[in-house]
Amino acid sequence: MIKAVKAQQVDYVELETAFTAICPVDNTIDNYIIKVRYRPRCDNDGCAYIELGSFRDYLDGFKGRVIYHEDVANEIINEIMKSIRPVELSITLISNYRGIKYVLERKINM
């Protein structure tokens, strides 16, 4: 679960980090770089942001999981939407599979 924190407004937030999962085709380790960019949703109490420690813990939960790249991207974007409901959100998921750079992108605008 990704937690939210409230703080004063900024225009955009960008996060980038690495994590791993298991390839369902050949059971090898998939190494990922994820880039998250979002515009926070704001109200009178402030703006909702991803709490970084919970984001790290969430991504660490993929370690040892057997899952396709596309399903990883969709699970992450759905969890972020559920936790902070940003105005705009895009994620880029980058993997290197047998020397092939594989890049997935999802975008949502509310």
Nearest to 104 by CA among 83, 81, 74: 74
Helix (H/G/I), strand (E/B), else coil: 9: coil
Catalytic choice (23, 43, 60, 71): 23
Residue 33's φ and ψ, nearest 5 degrees, are: -115, 130
Q: Which of 11, 26, 30, 57 is catalytic?
A: 30
- Reply yes or no on whether 11 is catalytic: no
CATH code for 4-109?
Answer: 3.30.1130.10
CB 50 within 8 A of CB 4: yes
- What is the pLDDT, as a whole number, of residue 2? 97
**How far, in Å, CA of 61 to CA of 102, rounded?**
21
**What local confidence, expressed as pLDDT, does residue 20 receive?**
97
The span from the CA of 72 to the CA of 12, in Å, is 23
Note the pLDDT of residue 104. 96
Mean pLDDT by groups of 10 residues along the chain of 110 residues:
97 98 95 98 96 98 97 97 97 92 93
pLDDT tens, residue by residue, 7-27: 999 999 999 999 999 999 999
Annotation marks residue 42 as catalytic: no
Alpha carbons within 13 angstroms on the beta-carbon side of residue 43 total 7
